[in-house]
Copies of this chain bind each other. A is one copy, B any other.
């Protein structure tokens, strides 16, 4: 049952103004009424998180793993109500909801395994050398420790996998940090259901009250207040550039600046080299049409920019891609506001000088549905107009036709930071374009050969991040087990008594983890 309340730890509270979520397929409001968190509720949640941190930071990897696995179990226990609520609040189909639930469960279990195994803390021990000349060497040991209460902003486009118990929450809880979720207003009901699962799991596995709180909001005030709160130590956000950059600025202007890990999207350039275009035009067009329209283009890895060398082959390919896109049904967008944003950004971009729209204009549809659109410009125009470099969130892509290799090189050097960049080519022609590949690899977090950027594999080698403005910190990922590194810092223990050392640093290596002992990786005890 959805109550519409905030959860300050296990305590339900609903004092603030109310709002409702929206069903974009039905084009009508959903039933439940949600209470926006008040200033007092926000302060209470942070105070409780701070108190919980004192205990939770020392909870063992095994216990944290039980907690994370219990969250996964409880989410499954929510059954159909979760799937139905998800689809009603997002317009996404049940199949996507089930798939995303699977990914969410998988992420929780993968962090459970990581902290149960324990080596992720990067334990390092340099033993004392009391007889070293000219000065004795002291015993120094180091490991990663949790930073404190974390605020996670739910993402509009991933109501499960990047929201309440998504990868951000899972990795923060795994690290030993309490989490306060600023629930996304578009799927507050889904958020509350998942919250109930987390709170049950916390209770069943004996976690301190306040290890998790969930706060509702319909505007920017709740998030702003949270990020400004002195006891919040880290912030995670997935969403628009405007939103992420605003939080980044707020956090940097606090008396004590804190890190903001904002993943702000990307246009994910695809470079099509001439030989592969000659040989594989049809399959590339099919794959691109699928990738551009997947999830109605509402993925941060959506391919919004296609770069090629001007040629008859490219002209024919572009026409063909436009035709294929025109043949794909319009899809429902997450919310009227998302549809509005898509329409206006798309119109702004296509209204720029020398931009040619290739897809057909469509008659009115269901107001929250969107048809994909393809446009094209010359390399020269693209280089001159930064407005053409910005993300259009939704099923849109821009083909840039470069005069020659030099212009393609210039375009690749003019690109801003990206989550992904893709090279489509024959193996033999890659060395011809090594300079372009070198520049492109400098501005991206993931470089793909002959594949599509959508479909982010959740695995240890995945880096989902990239240079600014793709994210505010290119050194960290929001997907894969590396995501835990966002919430920890190293702490050195000098000459620290054995009995007070954390388990990870004790002589006997009771956790049997891989450590660096005097510079060498080993699981040996001392």
Contact = CB atoms under 8 A, between A and B. Distances in A.
Interface string A426-468: 0100100000011001101111111100010101111101011
A492 B135 contact: no
Contact of A475 (B138, B477, B482, B490): B490
The 7 closest A-B pairs by CB, nearest first: A446-B492, A463-B492, A463-B490, A448-B494, A142-B461, A126-B461, A140-B461
B514 A447 contact: no
A472 interface: yes
A468 B256 contact: yes
Interface stretch (A18-26, A179-187, A215-223, A495-503): A495-503
B257 A472 contact: yes
A357 interface: no
Nearest to A505: B461
Interface in A279-311: none
Contacts of A500: 430, 437
Given A252-B252, A461-B125, A448 B495 contact: yes
Given A137-B459, A258-B468, A446-B493, 17 more contacts: A124-B461, A126-B459, A126-B462, A135-B455, A140-B457, A256-B467, A257-B468, A430-B500, A444-B491, A445-B492, A447-B492, A449-B494, A450-B495, A461-B492, A465-B489, A475-B490, A482-B490
A126 B460 contact: yes
A449 B257 contact: no
Given A256-B469, A257-B472, A460-B516, A495 B442 contact: no
Interface string A243-255: 0000011001000
Nearest to A497: B427
B468 A519 contact: no
A148 interface: yes
Nearest to A125: B461
A446 B494 contact: yes
A447 to B, nearest CB: 6
A25 B492 CA distance: 37
A142 B491 contact: no
Contact of A54 (B438, B446, B519): B438
Nearest to A124: B461
A88 B181 CA distance: 57
A346 interface: no
A447 B496 contact: yes
Contacts of A468: 256-258
Interface string A116-130: 000100001110000
A423 B519 CA distance: 27
A430 B348 CA distance: 65
Contacts of A147: 467, 474
Contact of A490 (B135, B137, B257, B465): B465
Contacts of A101: none
Given A256-B468, A430-B497, A138 B451 contact: yes
A431 to B, nearest CB: 8
A489 B500 CA distance: 34
A488 B145 CA distance: 21
Nearest to A423: B496
A141 interface: yes
A521 interface: yes
Nearest to A467: B489
A449 B492 CA distance: 11
A478 to B, nearest CB: 12
Interface in A124-164: 124-126, 135, 137-138, 140-142, 145, 147-148
Contacts of A416: 256
Contacts of A459: 126, 137, 140, 519
